[in-house]
Amino acid sequence: MKILNWYVTRGFLLAFSMAIAILTFGMTGANLIKVFDLVSQGISFWTFLKFTGYILPIVLTFTVPWAVMVAVMLVFGRMSADSEITAMRACGISIMQIVSPILIFTFLLTVLCLYLQVEVGPPFLGKSRELMKTAAIDQPLALFEPGKQIQIENTIIYIDDKEGENGLKGVQIYMLGDDGKTVAWDISADRGNLLVDKEKQVLTVQLFDCLLVNKQPQKATQEGISGDGPQRLFSEMLKFGFNYGREANEMRVGVRPKYMKLTDLMARIRLTKELNRDTTELEVELNQRIAFALSPIAFLLLGLPLAIRTSRRETSVGLFLSVILAGVFFLSIILCESLSSFPKLYPQYLLWLPNILFQIGGAIMTYRISQR
């Protein structure tokens, strides 16, 4: 029996390892696209590694249950196609004896997912968001990307290209008016420089041979500049200073619920109840984490009978079913989470439906197969 259990467990672990590596790489890569752009613009590679480490715990809470289902579909689908399960049962070995090591392993993965969801993942996810917001303080020149406009305070800056470490080519600057929407000044220059004072967190854009166009002639007339149309001025050199660290330094001290640990989240719920305020959103966040953490068991219970019933050697069948089932599960929970603004629908309880349906359905199908 030990040899048989090791045979099944070894195949499952091999498939699980390959699945979680591929899925984690894919999901992590999807979150790193913006970071790759920042790295190409000058953000340090160390920042890239830190961001990857911060988002990895949350990514694992999605990929671990998915990898469990993929491994189950592949391993037991192949064993069913090769009539190995039939041979084992003919020798008096039940389905539960065959999968008992995998059940124990999946239970340990569930504990891991629960720990990542309630303790490690949310704070690290908050750190990843904060890291991207404050990365500009360490490398402000990375803010400027050729072909894309950036907005600092009420100023929009566009550049055609970079030259060297600090040089700019084809600079276009739009200074917005008091309403923050209309353009007050249109400033263009063929070349310019970027000067950075990291201690004061001040970024200075220095332009040479620039043309200034005042788009608000009425205001210019009030200020003593005559003329009916837009006012055009020329300057050999012009400087603009921006406090690029102000936004990061003025971040809110409060932490969003999705970035809180379990103890902090429960304390927030208790405090909100004492203030007689609605706690639906907070309860949805709490229940959603636990529901996601318990998904490995649900995926195992549903994937096992489906793999045995499929009885196909082709791996594409198992992969296709695992993708469909995982997509339905995750989308169902996300959909219930989106109902947090409708407390009368009790979304904090609705999001348990995918787990309940998967586990009950899988348990019933597994029992029926074991009774054959």
What residues does 206 pair with on adjacent strands? 193, 239
Do 51 and 7 lie in one domain? The reply is yes
Do 127 and 85 lie in one domain? The reply is yes
Residue 204 domain flag: yes
Residue 340 domain flag: yes
Going by C-alpha positions, the residue among 196, 193, 128 that lies closest to residue 166 is 193
Do 54 and 164 lie in one domain? The reply is no
Do 186 and 229 lie in one domain? The reply is yes
Residues 6+ apart with CB under 8 A from 169: 159, 160, 161, 162, 163, 190, 191
Residue 297 domain flag: yes
Give the separation between CA 83 and CA 239, rounded to whole angstroms. 78
Number of separate helices (H) and strands (E) present in the chain: 14, 6
> How many domains does the chain contain in total?
2
Do 70 and 8 lie in one domain? The reply is yes
Residue 200 domain flag: yes
pLDDT for residue 226: 47
Residue span of the structural domain in which 193 resides: 154-242
Helix axes 295-310, 315-337, angle to 10 degrees: 150
Do 18 and 125 lie in one domain? The reply is yes
Final residue belonging to a domain, choices 242, 273, 291: 242
Final residue belonging to a domain, choices 184, 216, 242: 242
Do 46 and 118 lie in one domain? The reply is yes
pTM above 0.85, yes or no: no
Do 128 and 163 lie in one domain? The reply is no
Per-residue confidence in pLDDT tens, the chain, 372 aa:
677 778 888 888 999 999 899 888 888 876 666 666 656 555 667 777 788 888 889 889 889 998 998 888 888 888 877 777 778 777 777 777 778 888 899 999 999 999 999 888 888 988 887 776 666 555 656 667 777 777 777 788 888 887 776 788 888 888 887 776 788 888 888 888 887 776 776 778 888 888 888 877 555 444 444 445 567 888 888 887 777 655 545 444 456 788 888 888 888 888 888 888 888 888 888 898 888 888 898 888 888 887 776 655 455 666 677 778 888 888 888 888 888 888 888 888 888 888 888 888 888 887 777 666
Do 346 and 319 lie in one domain? The reply is yes
Do 182 and 313 lie in one domain? The reply is no
Do 272 and 128 lie in one domain? The reply is yes
Residue 6 domain flag: yes
Residue 103 domain flag: yes
Final residue belonging to a domain, choices 242, 265, 291: 242
Do 62 and 188 lie in one domain? The reply is no
Residue 247 domain flag: no
Give the separation between CA 173 and CA 153, rounded to whole angstroms. 12
Residue 146 domain flag: no
Query: Residue 299 belongs to what H/E stretch?
Result: helix 295-310
Identify each DSSP E strand in the chain by its residue range: 150-152, 155-163, 167-176, 183-197, 202-214, 231-242
pLDDT for residue 1: 65
